[in-house]
Chains A and B, each alone.
Chain A
Amino acid sequence: MVRYTVRRIFITIPILLVMSVLTFMGARAVASPEAALRFNPRVRPEDIARYREQLGLDDSEFVQYTRWLGKFITGDLGNSLVARRPVGEMLAEALRNTMVLAIVALTVSLLIGVLIGIIAAVRQNSWFDYTTTGLSLLGIATPVFLVGLMLQLVLGVYLQRWLNTSEPIFYTAGMTSPGTQGFDLMDRLRHIALPATALAVQLIAVYSRYMRASLLEVLNSDYIRTARSKGISERRVLTKHGVRTALIPLTTQAAIDIGLLVGGLIITEVIFAWPGMGTLFLQALFDGDYVVILPWLMITAAAVFIANLIADLLYAVLDPRIRYA
């Protein structure tokens, strides 16, 4: 398996290189480096020329690309054109914030989704099964931006109005209240509740369907019948032989999802003004800050590859039938 992992990583390197070329072209196409200067009416053409020279924008595309790649590999990401901060620092902060939101939402969704899936499968065709099936269809059909806005409206605005409190129970924007000192858990929770719920609505819908299908497949298998024939308790049949086996595909799916969420929270972050990767990306896009966009695209792409690799390895660990040579 070690050999397999090493091989997978080696295969990934050329793919990431190709991606970097595409990324470079894409980032340059969408983001004009002069955009940062456009806002200032007093900028003269000479300034722009000096600026272009500073950034090396007059060199050939190829020279610019290799120069950028060299710096990228050595970890020198440069400074943001607009925010004037080291890009590495900005990305690290955004990534951390995104991961907090993603992991909270994913953990909650997994717990609830798995539980719903188990009950729905065990009580197949019961009212619980039908209700949760209907709700998850609703959840799957409702895009995350709609869920987000409805949550802001109902749990943010209306709830405050009904309870007649001076400040909202759940905040509809940001990660912390302005001016909070240090780490205030309650304040954090009141900020993360709505964005995490917006994400969780979909994830729970998907995971509960997935778990239900997976567990039903297992429960209908021959080895569950064998387990029952052994005289072990129904509870043990369900947990040890049923759920444990049915969780394998779900676990790997969740691993893949973490990779996707690195760059995939754009909408949630926009709606709830969450200072993560998505917000950073859109801001950089509007600013034409290609210095930020380039490593951003590389990181999100790499996250997908890494997560997929982890998912595959996890599968091999959890399911003895899978062997990679």
Chain B
Amino acid sequence: MSTTVDARGLSCPQPVLMTLNKIKEIKKGEIIVKVDTDTSRENVSRAAESQGWEVADIQKQETEYQLTLQK
């Protein structure tokens, strides 16, 4: 069962803040993060990896990315 963080349209550092808050909340499992810039995709990936999470998948859809984070 995964939970979703929708950070589309938000600029730095909101996508990272929202992702880290979710990571703190659920501690482990799967999080889907939606972002719409390459910078947010990179920043969310870097932040998740720094917390020991794995970026299991990145789906590109037209103007957005969907990242699957797992721990």
Is A bound to B?
no
